Amino acid sequence: MAVQPDVVIIGSGIGGATLAAGLAPSGLDILILEAGERIEDRPENRDQRAIFQRGYFRPQESWFDRRGKAFNPGNYYNVGGNSKFFGAVLTRYRREDFAEIRHREGVSPAWPFGYEELEPWYGKAEALYQVRGTLGEDPTEPPHSMDYAFPPVPDEPPIAEVRARLGALGLHPYSLPLGIDIDRWLAKGKTPWDSHPNSFDGKMDAETAALTVALQYPNTRLETGAKVTRLTTGPDGRGIAAVHYTKNGEPCEVRPRLVVLSAGAVKSAILLLASADDANPTGLANRSDQVGRNFMNHNASAVIGISPGFRNDAIYQKTFGFNDFYLSDGAGGEPLGNVQLLGKVSGRILKGDLPAVPEWLLGIVATHAIDFYAMSEDIPSPNSRVRLDGERIVLEWQRSNWQAHLDLVKKLKAVLRAAGFPLVVSKPFDKRTPSHQCGTVRIGTDPATAPLDPYCRAFDHPNLFVVDASFLPSSAAVNPSLTIAAQALRVADHIATKELRQ
């Protein structure tokens, strides 16, 4: 048999690529199996009609809802995973998010460790992803032991004007921490980066910021087009003996010492469930029956303020947010969530959602609009889940805390009207946008209630780790990637120093 790698990482998204970057200096022989291919540099990358109207990059995949109705999820399979399309907001959970938080419709659970445990790893993740930001503007900001290495991405003039208007209303807008080299991004084309794929154009995604670092080490290899289909255990039903995958339609298998599953919150849970065997009849790592459960995806809406007197000629727009309703509703009540700018919406983008309206008309509206993203915490529930029905992926997402989200949107609308936008419209994102999927293979301290220990190791399988958005025990109300990346670096260090020390 050929020499087998020490570690196989399944998936090259934020979890897998960041873990690879953290583990590569150890000298361990690392093989990354990635189902997708690299996103090439092609005109469609910046063609908003191709992206938003023709769905050029959307995967040809269907998931099913609880009634058996098929839908096409925006879940991307390529080197770098979903981060190739992300908005590059690389933010930390607030310190409070690691403790239990009472919400209107339930309790967000405490993590098995506090913010201070992850803090140094957040700093390392910010350095790896070259995050641009500024400290001291956001009253909810947790302590940072080091400053950002780069100044924030500057507001464009109309955005600076709106930031000032919100500040005058008593709010606390802060510069979003962003993984974007704006000069490089704009040199390729004058578009926002949010939802636009990146091909080494200045966006710090899992491929450009983390995988590239990992692949500089001769002991790390990437195999693309390698779709993992199953994990099998050894005779004791505990150790993972083999990883099975297909490459160009051909079945392949590899037998590493240690497996890191990083296929994303839906696909990692599905792979564990699909790998059920006699010793593990409900799926791998599933003694707790929690694999696939606790699916969360944030309650999120686009909120667009329109004013005939406001001319928005911003190209990228996405530079500030505010957390004035994050820890409480502003009147001592339960939390509502985070507000941040979206990438600048154009007529070509809006046309994707409103095909009956002429693009030129939507373009005029967009020129007089400012576009926000309101995001509220989704609380874990065992009944909110992803499961397999034969070959079908069934997503039974049960949103929680929806009223808090509606109130956040209502507050944001009132704020925008007070800031000079008389017309404000909103639209929630639904299951077709599982961008912030998480929670399906969570960490915890009790094997009866969580599949993974606090280092993301499966309680049931000593040589299996799950390191992607699956492990998050709560969704908070901030973008997930930096927290996934920080934990990936923490786990990589644990594997290199405690598990497979050379």
Ligand X SMILES: Cc1cc2nc3c(=O)[nH]c(=O)nc-3n(C[C@H](O)[C@H](O)[C@H](O)COP(=O)(O)OP(=O)(O)OC[C@H]3O[C@@H](n4cnc5c(N)ncnc54)[C@H](O)[C@@H]3O)c2cc1C
Interaction site with ligand X (CB under 6 A): 10-16, 33-36, 74, 77-78, 81-83, 85-89, 195, 227-228, 262-265, 267, 271, 435-436, 468-469, 479-481, 484
Q: How far apart are CA 149 and CA 135, in angstroms?
A: 11
d(CA 120, CA 99): 18
Residue 451 and residue 440: Cα distance in Å, rounded?
Answer: 9
In angstroms, what is the minimal distance from the CB of 479 to ligand X? 3
Given the structure tokens 């969580």, which residue do they identify? 450
Question: Which of residues 78 and 290 has its CB atom nearest to ligand X in the complex?
Answer: 78
Percent composition of the chain: helix, strand, coil (DSSP 3-state, to 5):
30, 20, 50
Single-letter residue type at 367: T
Q: Which is nearer to ligand X, 104 or 298 (CB)?
A: 298
β 240-247/385-389 pair status: unpaired
| Least distance between ligand X and beta carbon 333 (Å) | 27
Q: How far is the CB of 253 from ligand X (least distance, A)?
A: 13
Determine the length of the chain.
Answer: 502
CB closer to ligand X, 77 vs 310? 77
Instruction: Indicate the residue whose CB is closest to ligand X.
Output: 13
Cα dihedral 34, 39, 40, 43 in deg (nearest 10) = 160
Nearest approach, Cβ of residue 115 and ligand X (Å):
17
The answer to whether 162 and 370 are in contact (CB under 8 A) is: yes
Name the residue nearer to ligand X (CB basis): 336 or 485.
Answer: 485
Nearer to ligand X, 16 or 454 (CB): 16
If the CB atoms of residues 92 and 413 are measured against ligand X, the closer one turns out to be 92
- Nearest distance from C-beta of residue 152 to ligand X, angstroms: 15
Q: How far is the CB of 455 from ligand X (least distance, A)?
A: 16
Beta strands across the sheet bearing 464-466: 220-223, 30-33, 7-10, 258-261, 464-466
The CB density around residue 384, as the number of other CB atoms within 10 Å, is 22
Closest C-alpha among 407, 408, 401, 402 to residue 321: 408
Please check whether residue 376 is in contact with residue 104, taking contact to mean a CB–CB distance below 8 angstroms: no
Nearer to ligand X, 419 or 464 (CB): 464
Smallest distance from ligand X to CB 80, Å: 6
Beta-carbon count within 10 A of 19 CB: 34
Contact at 8 Å (CB) between 453 and 306?
A: no
Q: Considering the complex, state which of residue 307 and residue 479 has its C-beta at the smaller distance from ligand X.
A: 479
Rounded to the nearest whole angstrom, what is the least distance from the CB of residue 124 to ligand X in the complex?
16
